[in-house]
Chains A and B, each alone.
Chain A
Amino acid sequence: MTYSTLTLPQFPHYRIFASLYKNVKNHRQIRDGIRSGSISADFDFAFLNAANVLSLEQIYSALFRCFVDKANGKMKANTIHTELISDMSTVKNIMEALTKFGIPSKGDTVDLVVLKVLYSGDEDDSGDGNSFSPDALKKISGQLDSAIENDGAGGCCLTDTELESTADLHKIRKNYKLSDLFSEDRDRLNRLLIGTIQLKGL
């Protein structure tokens, strides 16, 4: 059970729990559970197919977009986590975003990036009690470790090195609709994704 916490300089009152679960086997079960609502309400996360994730900077960029839209009253989804998945994607339609960028339905095993937006201390205006504290983080991590089956490996820290091993350039090319713009050069590819995320819907 390892995880990272992310903070954005411009939005210091948010803390983001972040972890990478590799070789997940019960992804369909989790996906179906979320869709049917049979999983308990406090199982509230942004699950991202790690295949589409190239870098931490890409995730930070989507978080920024999400918080800016929230501050401006421009959120399109009904929860911050759905908004976040949608902000990682290029598609307008939220269902389609969830299908392409959320938990995949195919594959024997998949890699998942899991994010949860928390609020530091007194700034918790969410009303859902997602306040940040070391205990809260441990609890979240435990909750995920017991729900996600990956041969007991649990989650690992979200780092660029880890993400490099789970990114799938073909998927990225396809899902970000890059076609001719696609580049094997990761730095260039990364900037293309960041620009796309920042400008989505504008």
Chain B
Amino acid sequence: MRDQIVDDLQLRIPTVPLRLISQGAEALIFMTNQHPYLPAGVNPCDVDNPGKYIIKYRPPKPYRHPKLDKRITATRTSSEAKLLHKLYQLGVKAPKLIAIDAPNGLIWMEFLGYQLPDMRYSSLKNWLWLLERESDRDHPVALADNVKDCCNGIGRSIGVLHLHGIVHGDLTTSNIVLTDEATLKPSLIDFGLSSYSGLPEDRAVDLYVLERALKSTHPVYAEKYWEWILDGYHDVHEEDGKRGRKKYSETISRFKEVRMRGRKRTMIG
């Protein structure tokens, strides 16, 4: 099934070498060294890793009517691509949009991230795991200032999204990546479930999902990480002035409610 999908895509773009790096419920992620429209020797301007690109592919769903399927795929694909462009306009770190073929479910974007010393990909999760392994009582490197700065940055990014009425929709520790070994600048990725929403509930759920993800993947230090993320989240709202402060308190009070609901649910369940 999966091999068939990969083969079909490879037939569609035979001149593009594809390496499958991830398979989710909705999309397959490929890496390639081939830019879709620039010949070798012409580098795209202002991208982090020229010569390395991500292709996100939403294959056809065989159980849907082909016509309807094409339309749904095109809508989801273009909505994700539009968000990438929007975030670039807003100055939020996210993969830059390179190309899109909406009816065929294809997005080309900038590759973000690097290889950690343990050879893994620099997702927030992998990075924190690495630091946690290296931490001990005398040297808790997982709680060092650079982790704090990174967490602040994550909170700020989420804050800017929320201030502009965008919710990410899937804030996990795999959907946050470090983009630069020297600066540790974080970026959000995977806007497949993102949407526009003015509801405090949706922003609160965004935060809650991330808090839960941190607690489950990083039980020992999650509380500290979360505090730092919230600090950054708070600061961008504060800097936005009166409107931001109001939004912040709405979101946070709803967040506390969502948390309570979550607790009750786990107590019952």
Contacts and interface: CB of A to CB of B under 8 A. Distances in A.
A binds B: yes
A72 B46 contact: no
Nearest to A63: B37
Contacts of A64: 36-37, 99
A198 B16 CA distance: 19
A195 B88 contact: yes
Nearest to A188: B46
Contacts of B96: 191, 195
B15 A10 contact: yes
Contacts of A72: 101, 103-104
Interface residues of A, number: 29
Contact of A192 (B42, B89, B99, B104): B89
Given A9-B34, A9-B36, A202-B82, A57 B44 contact: yes
A195 B85 contact: yes
Given A9-B16, A9-B35, A192-B89, A55 B45 contact: yes
A125 to B, nearest CB: 17
B39 interface: yes
A61 B100 contact: no
Contacts of B101: 68, 72
B89 A199 contact: no
Interface in B204-232: none
B81 A10 contact: no
A109 interface: no
Contacts of B102: 202
Given A8-B39, A10-B36, A61-B37, A192 B88 contact: yes
Interface in B9-47: 13, 15-16, 34-40, 42, 44-46
A23 interface: no
A192 B16 CA distance: 25
Contacts of B195: none
B90 to A, nearest CB: 10
B36 A187 contact: no
A2 interface: no
Nearest to B97: A195
A186 B97 CA distance: 17
Contacts of A199: 78, 81-82, 85, 97, 100
A115 to B, nearest CB: 14
A57 B38 contact: yes
Contact of A187 (B46, B99, B104): B46
Nearest to B79: A202
A62 to B, nearest CB: 9
Contacts of A9: 15-16, 34-40
A10 B78 CA distance: 20
Contacts of B82: 199, 202
A35 interface: no
Q: Which of B38, B81, B104 has the most CB of A within 10 A?
A: B38
A10 B37 contact: yes
Contact of B97 (A10, A12, A198): A198
Interface of B: 13, 15-16, 34-40, 42, 44-46, 74, 78, 81-82, 84-85, 88-89, 96-104
6 contacts: A9-B36, A10-B13, A10-B15, A57-B44, A68-B101, A202-B102
